[in-house]
Amino acid sequence: MTTPAARGFRMPGEWVPHTRCWMAWPCRPETWPEGRFDAATQAYAEVARAIAEFEPVTMVCDPADVAEASLACGAGGSGIQILPVPLSDSWIRDTGPSFVTDGRGALAGVHWGFNAWGGNYAECGKDREVGRLVLEHLGLERFRAPLVMEGGSFHVDGEGTLITTEQCLLNPNRNPHLSRDEIEQHLKDHLGVNTVIWLGEGYQDDETDGHIDEIACFARPGVVLALTTDDPADPNFKIFHDNLDRLSRARDAHGRALEVVTLPQPARRDENGMRLTLSYTNLYIANGGVVAPSFEDPHDDEAFRILRKVFADREVIQVPALDIVRGGGGIHCITQQQPAP
């Protein structure tokens, strides 16, 4: 099988120019119990409108919800298009394609295997096909990766470096037949990287088994944003500090030490016996802008100041994301950038 890397493809950093952003309209009320589904749809629409200030947005939408999504997003003149696609859920970072470019004008997509985050949910059959349907709509080549994996489980710098967590990618509920070295090789073959930086665990109670976008992300080559807390009693304290230690010792594909910029962890909130994964690293980098979360939290202003400094060449907009997080993810989880080839 010819791999993307063998063909000269690689996944660019998320800050390169985009043709558009992809999102998926909420369609599973069970994801947001206690009557919070309507609030979630409005939160998705607000994120879509914020991103549309910087670049076009295509909202894939279950055919039964086209009218609702169009009305909520102001589709058409707002820079938001609606594309009917059968859906099981609405986390397109994990179910949609990861776009790769070859530097010569070609764009393609990597389609990962999907099993609902290690079998956490039974009804995911439609979401297994979202990546294929998006790529067919665009008329792009599809590389079918031999990995069960989600797009939110890794982050790349576009220059050969990838960060991920052992908790997620080495979890036996994804690829029990593959060793660490084999998984790493598949990442290299399909994303065009040559250096994988492994962090340990992810956010406490993260139902994705430790997705990287809840705890760390590249802001640009050589610079990583990472969540931290100074409360030794917080279960995330040891997790975050172990990851900070790993990042401090890591070297990227060019042999550079990483500059690590820390972001404060929002105050703990529990719902239905589970901790909400509130994280300022779960953001979307758009053309000329950054759409970042706010949580009605005292740390919102500090996070905003840090992000404005890190992304000094972009406009930073904070969008309320608490109603998204209640479903199990954040702004990065509900978006997927399509780089300009």
Amino acid in the structure at residue 196 = V
Taking only the tens place, the pLDDT of each residue in 280-322 is 999 999 999 999 999 999 999 999 999 999 999 999 999 999 9
Does residue 217 have an active-site annotation?
A: no
Q: Which domain holds residue 285?
A: 5-339
User: How far, CA to CA in Å, does 237 sit from each of 69, 198, 227?
Assistant: 40, 18, 10
- Contacts of 100 by beta carbon, 8 Å cutoff, 6+ apart: 4, 9, 10, 11, 12, 107, 108, 109, 110, 143, 190, 191, 192
Query: pLDDT category, 75, cuts 50, 70, 90?
Result: confident
| Residues facing 99 on adjacent strands | 109
Burial of 270 (0-12, 13-18, 19+ CB in 10 A): exposed
Q: What is the pLDDT of residue 63?
A: 96
Map tokens 């390169």 to a residue.
16
pLDDT of residue 124: 87
Sequence-separated (6 or more) residues with CB below 8 Å from residue 43: 319, 320, 321, 322, 323, 324
Catalytic residue, candidates 21, 73, 217, 333 = 333
Identify the weakest region by mean pLDDT among 66-75, 135-144, 160-169, 218-227.
Answer: 66-75
Percent of residues, the chain, with pLDDT higher than 70 = 99
Q: What is the pLDDT of residue 1?
A: 66
The whole-number pLDDT of residue 76 equals 67
Number of domains in the chain: 1
CA 94 vs CA 105, 141, 152: distances in Å: 25, 19, 6
pLDDT by residue (tens digit) across 236-295? 999 999 999 999 999 999 999 999 999 999 999 999 899 999 999 999 999 999 999 999
pLDDT band at residue 78 using 50, 70 and 90 as cut-offs: confident
For the stretch 172-228, pLDDT in tens is 999 999 999 999 999 999 999 999 999 999 999 999 999 999 999 999 999 999 999
Average pLDDT over residues 324-339: 98
Rg (CA), the chain: 18
pLDDT of amino acid 200: 98
Average confidence score pLDDT of the chain: 96
What mean pLDDT do residues 70-97 have?
A: 92
CATH of the domain at 23: 3.75.10.10
The structure tokens listed for 202 are 């992810």
